[in-house]
Structure 1
């Protein structure tokens, strides 16, 4: 409560915002709107999985070089691209980030530029789709880059543009994403005083912007469980040990970890199974079943407790069935909680209000989705906000969510995101509200 009151007080102390984007921002954005739309549609039609964003990275690097950006670097953390815009006047050093990767999802949007791309993911053929909206993020940030480059002579400060691969996670056995970008030195070569990012979001309508101070998005961890039984004919289950029945019991019992073992009156916790694989024929009980899933938390103690509880459930439920379980919880490095710096948030919210008007800026609750933007925000103060994606008049709570094969982006979000980020950058660089 005290944290919320502090943020409200900080926001209240700032000058009252206007109800529309600055005329300068509108003029700058208006010149790039058509290209932002074209970039987004092109990238949407040609999606690439994490650490494989070769075409997208080439498009980004070529455009940044054409705009005269300095220190354009490629191949960071596999396919990442960074570049620096140095303004003609003194000012802060900041970073702006967009993610480039798509998901192993077969698109069902019905768009004329829908993806028909395919790839292999975890050994299986899959469709590939920008089901999370990263195509929009790339298009918006390229538009912001072009708009700011056009006023380089009068722009205060320096801006690092980050186009990042593998936000959704690198392929098994590979490193990637924000953590690897940092490990390869992007904040050593250019140390910003703040970092900004955005995400299109289905739970907001087009024209709306969402924000939250402090903890905003959950920590995310992945788990892998393999239940080992003994193969037998389906007509003689007593001749083996059935890992499918054990796995089913495990899934059901695991639901009590959140419902009965975590104090969710304090902070939310989510434990979800995303895939179960076992067997190949209708009348053969297999040797093993694999289960993978995710745990989302906002507190380190609750996170570690969930890990321990899941290990306990998996091992002991399997043992009760005469089976055994090999449990990796977590099985990879996860994403930490995404935290918006309270002072930076208070300073940034008036810019969002300028961009879309007070009534269209929404203070959001905790978001159980995760973001590896969190790694940047652990290094320097960060502010990450949401751009509405669901068409006006539709119930955003019922719209196909990010990661759905039917995820639909109202392209008004491109204009809103471009203007919001431009307003935010210009206000910050000029010291508005400082």
Structure 2
């Protein structure tokens, strides 16, 4: 571990807890971004650019030695619409909003990295510190890219991390290839013909169509996808009617999501779901439409070479027995995936222990800030050596 980073953990913890107290929702991280920008200026970064994709920002730090190479490091800034149940002093002051995913800790980790590197600039080339908006919406990364992120701040490689509860404190997990799943959120609207519940012959039963769509759709996984592959198709909301006992509704709606690690499997599942929705409705004399919502994102796929480098750096930092370089992929989703489609890189986990993410009793483990920052610093120095 880097001694100076460890010795300043109390300072980094203070930063993190201040972020925790004042969380902001996706695309609304105005005060958070302002605070981050002020700190980057205080550290002496060469440039700080704000308003990228809305509230995203990038700090630019140039090393002592000339080079055309650049490394990107990314942290997310947004919080969740949750009421916090913790009772410590740094609980959220913004009612109904909480840093329940550790983005407060991710920001503190990246700021600690910038603080350290800015003090000596002992590297060649440039580091771009990317503070991203709206990860929880799974759109912020793409929004920043569409706003010219990599045209303005080109990167040869890029890295991101996430704390991970239920992984031992300070252990580092990663894998080559897909480490998190794609996410496609969908809506289905079914239109039949309403009527009296006692006269089924005079109507088209939209709740029945809805039920058959659910049953038929689940056969996509079991009968269209190889048992050696994986995909998750879940219906999370089903609605029809107005609460009465004898009025059959004209319309019914479904919501759900699809998660996959392989793009071919993802596209197959989307295609078959559309066919199942439309054909099932047609068989009952109804109509139905499938709409995939904004917020879909591809799987998070790590570059093999960069994954091997991250594993090497992690082993050197925390020891081989605390690194899993072939961890099981997670079926959750992460919009860092869009950045990895543009730039070779690696996304890795740092063990946080404690309760699960998106839990009202969650809190980031400040002990892992020096580990994450040391990883970032050593990755910069491996990619931007002084000789």
What's the TM-score once normalised by structure 2's chain length? 0.88
299-308 or 157-166, larger mean C-alpha shift: 299-308
239-248 or 421-430, larger mean C-alpha shift: 239-248
1:281 shift after superposition: 3.5
Rounded Cα–Cα distance in structure 1 between residues aligned with 2:283 and 2:84: 41
Rounded Cα–Cα distance in structure 2 between residues aligned with 1:221 and 1:145: 34
* Aligned residue pair count: 384
**1:44 partner SS:** helix
Alignment of 1:27-426 (within 5 A): 27-31=4-8, 33-91=9-67, 92-109=69-86, 112-115=89-92, 117=94, 127-152=96-121, 154-169=122-137, 176-231=139-194, 240-265=203-228, 267-283=229-245, 285-328=248-291, 330-332=292-294, 334-363=296-325, 364-391=327-354, 400=356, 402-426=357-381
Rounded Cα–Cα distance in structure 2 between residues aligned with 1:268 and 1:211: 19
1:164 shift after superposition: 0.7
Gaps of 5+ in 2: none
1:196 shift after superposition: 0.9
Distance 1:276 1:117, change over 3 A: farther
Distance 1:76 1:387, change over 3 A: same
1:292 shift after superposition: 2.2
Q: Is the 8 A contact 2:20 2:99 kept in 1?
A: yes
Tell me how large the CA RMSD over aligned residues is.
2.7
Query: What residue is the counterpart of 1:124 in the other structure?
Result: none
**1:130 partner SS:** coil
190-199 or 237-246, larger mean C-alpha shift: 237-246
Rounded Cα–Cα distance in structure 2 between residues aligned with 1:302 and 1:389: 32
Rounded Cα–Cα distance in structure 1 between residues aligned with 2:183 and 2:297: 5
1:195-228 deviation line (CA, Å, top 9, x unaligned): 1110112242222110111232222222211122
Rounded Cα–Cα distance in structure 2 between residues aligned with 1:109 and 1:249: 43
Gaps of 5+ in 1: 1-20, 119-126, 171-175, 392-398
1:250 shift after superposition: 2.5
1:86 shift after superposition: 1.0
1:333 shift after superposition: 6.2
Q: Is the 8 A contact 2:263 2:299 kept in 1?
A: no
Q: Is the 8 A contact 2:180 2:299 kept in 1?
A: yes
**1:75 partner SS:** strand
1:232 shift after superposition: 5.0
**2:99 partner SS:** coil
Q: Is the 8 A contact 1:352 1:424 kept in 2?
A: no
Distance 1:313 1:383, change over 3 A: same
